[in-house]
Amino acid sequence: MPDTLTPTAIQAAVTRALADQSVVDMHTHLYPPSFGTPVPHADGKIDPAGLMLWGVDELVTYHYLIAEVFRVVPATKLPYEQFWRMSKREQADHIWKHLFIERSPISEACRGVLTTLKKLGLDVSDRSLEPARKWFAQQDPSKYIDKVMEIANVSSITMTNPVFDDNERNRWLANPRVGDDPRFKAVLRIDPLLRDWPGAARKMSEWGFACSPTIDDKTADNARKFLRHWIDYQKAIYLAVSLPPEWRYPTGTIGDEVFEKVILPVCAERGLPFAMMIGSRLRVNPSLNDAGDMVGYSDVQSVVGLCRDFPQNKFFCTMLARENQHELAVATRKFGNLMLFGCWWFVNNPSLIDEITRMRVELLGTSFIPQHSDARILDQLIYKWDHSRELIGLVLAEKYADAARAGWPVTEAEIRRDVKLFLQGNFQDFLAR
């Protein structure tokens, strides 16, 4: 019989296992330097519309913090247009002043900036951003990616590659090797297909894949060709969308046909999962741009219907509303072709991560993906995974202690095996399944 660990030893073993285990981050908005960077750095090559975001000014102007600063300096005092006209550095100074200096940085997004800078060895205790700015300006973007991945202990970064976004799409067209950085994997992001079919059809037609506003055989065929083309071109490892709370399947509308005749057949034929992130109501305050989206209650039964009716397809799913989490976890118990992942965006806060992760372990054991980072700024990998590892560790230590009390010898080797499933294995095995 293996030796069992005591509760204190369990806690220490879980913390060690989580720290040692590298993460395969299944959903980020990060890019390698080949996509350009607007951030001042060592070799000086700046691309104002570049997609690789990193450094202190980007961290401080994360859209979560833009929403927070407009709470304390409302648009009646600083009009939205005036904020958007400021340089990145001026925006960062404004946010730093109002969210870090004039009141304490205790929201999760503020705390994230502090954890990140601290783990990078940068001291902001004198309340100044200048030394950090100087330090970042001396970094080489590619070497800096290695450094961040090492500190965060992340071994692979999954991008989000929206093919209907002209800035991104043109970069893929200009350089077929733009996605070749081995540290990054591509994901074909296709929101317009489900959020705005007529608009998507118009664009695909312009790009040589003739599609009409209704889905006749020719249109379905061309839309499938479009998807296959981009899956191959990006070497995408799955396809993804974010969907509004109102999304339903089936609806008896064109959305059903897009699923049934276009997306799902291509995913099934290529063995690729389809990721659905459900519950984002976009631009409830359009003046805030990316920071203006919010959450709404979604329909888990629509996910159930898809998983049941398309057993040849694999689905990743996460939902934005706290109120959906229990039903979605129960739905996940019913379908081997459904993989639950992450605490997304507005539920990516410590109190909710703790509650959601605890409930998921109780319902699903080790068979889900507890977190993704959703990092938009490279450096955020550091705090997102630091905070998540700590919270996952608290839940796991408690659950292993419960098993030990019930007479099950808990060993360090088995804790390490499970932690590997949580931080990378469940994701990789689901892709390979």
Please classify residue 398 by burial: count the beta carbons closer than 10 Å to its beta carbon, then call 0-12 exposed, 13-18 middle and 19+ buried: middle
DSSP state of 81: H
- Taking CB under 6 A as the rule, does residue 196 contact ligand RAT? no
Instruction: Give Cα separations from 55 to 40, 158, 418 (angstroms).
Output: 9, 20, 34
Out of 136, 172, 184, 345, name the contact with ligand RAT by CB under 6 A. 345
Give the three-state DSSP class for 318: strand
**Secondary element (H or E) of residue 241:** strand 236-243
**Which of Zn ion, ligand RAT, none binds 376 (CB below 5-8 Å, type-dependent)?**
ligand RAT
Residue found by looking up tokens 């399947």 in the block: 249
Write down the least CB distance from residue 277 to ligand RAT, Å: 6
Which of Zn ion, ligand RAT, none does residue 242 bind to, with CB < 5 to 8 Å depending on kind? Answer: ligand RAT
Helices within 176-272 (DSSP H only): 191-195, 197-206, 217-234, 254-257, 264-270
Residue 255 CB contacts under 8 Å (≥ 6 apart), including other chains? 194, 197, 247, 249
Q: Cα(138)–Cα(133) distance, rounded to whole angstroms?
A: 9
Based on CB atoms, which residue is closest to Zn ion, 370 or 393?
370
Quick one: 160 or 219, whose CB is closer to ligand RAT? 160
| Residue 345: contacted member of ligand RAT, Zn ion, none (CB under 5 to 8 Å, by partner type) | ligand RAT
Residue 242 binding ligand RAT, by CB under 6 A: yes
What x/- string results for residues 11 through 30 when contact with ligand RAT is judged by CB under 6 A?
Answer: ------------------x-
Residue 319: contacted member of ligand RAT, Zn ion, none (CB under 5 to 8 Å, by partner type) = none
Measured from the CB atom, the residue of 29 and 248 that comes closer to ligand RAT is 29
- From residue 362 to residue 381, the character string flagging contacts with ligand RAT as x (rule: CB under 6 A) and all else as - is ------------x-x-----
The 10 Å Cβ neighbour count of residue 284 is 11
**Alpha helices for 103-248 (secondary structure H):** 108-119, 130-137, 141-152, 166-174, 191-195, 197-206, 217-234
314 binds, among ligand RAT, Zn ion, none (CB under 5 to 8 A by kind): none
User: Applying CB under 5 A, which residues contact Zn ion?
Assistant: 374
Choose from ligand RAT, Zn ion, none: what does 11 bind? Cβ within 5-8 Å by kind: none
Q: What's the residue count for the chain?
A: 433
- Least CB distance from residue 217 to ligand RAT, whole Å? 32
Binders of ligand RAT in range 116-135 (CB under 6 A) = none
d(CA 350, CA 144): 28
Is residue 324 at the binding interface for ligand RAT, with CB under 6 A as the rule? no
Binding residues for ligand RAT (CB under 6 A): 29, 160, 242, 277, 280, 290, 345, 374, 376
